[in-house]
A = this chain, B = another copy of it.
Amino acid sequence: MMAMIEVEYSACVSETLHVMTNLGLLLVSVDKVGKPNAMTIGWGTIGSIWGKPTFCVLVRPSRYTFDCIEATNDFTVNVPPQELREAVGFCGRFSGREHDKFTEMKLTAAPSLHVKSPVIEQCPIQYECKVIHRNEVIPENLPAEILESAYPGGNYHTVYFGEILAVHADPEAKVGL
């Protein structure tokens, strides 16, 4: 078990974005009865809006994660180490409707301090987020190139603006950089 400390919201942003682009991050939510699910994301932004540290993630309405976030209004974002590469691939390919990804991939759900969604104990950086806003990707406002590459079947993302309530980090972690 890692010795996690709480850090400023912007302390690990470069590492987080690097891993997001090169491996993927694990977006964790829970369903109505509290069962956790992890979805791999390669897109997102971090910053501050309305004076609040913010993690923006995009989720298609067809996803199981969408139903979970709509039910609880919160999520966590977890930065996986290289050793979780297989789990990251699995959580990107399969749906939580058909798989218990935490059990099958031996991910350990640890309670969050501020939100219902747990964090993943094996991940050396963890963001706890509460949804404070949501809007939509608007097809009419996208270049044709993105419409073709990301939305051949529609299913336009909802953008969740998550207030970052806490960031936990393992000061020893190299997160595979």
Contact = CB atoms under 8 A, between A and B. Distances in A.
Interface in A28-50: 42-50
Interface stretch (A61-69, A87-95, A103-111, A143-151): A143-151
A50 B46 contact: no
Interface of A: 10-11, 13-14, 17-18, 20-21, 42-51, 54, 56, 58, 132-138, 141-143, 146, 149-150, 159
Contacts of A134: 138, 141
Q: A-side binding surface: helix, strand, loop or mixed?
A: mixed
A141 B135 contact: yes
Tell me how many chains of this kind the complex includes.
Answer: 2
Contacts of A138: 133-135
Contacts of A51: 42-43, 149
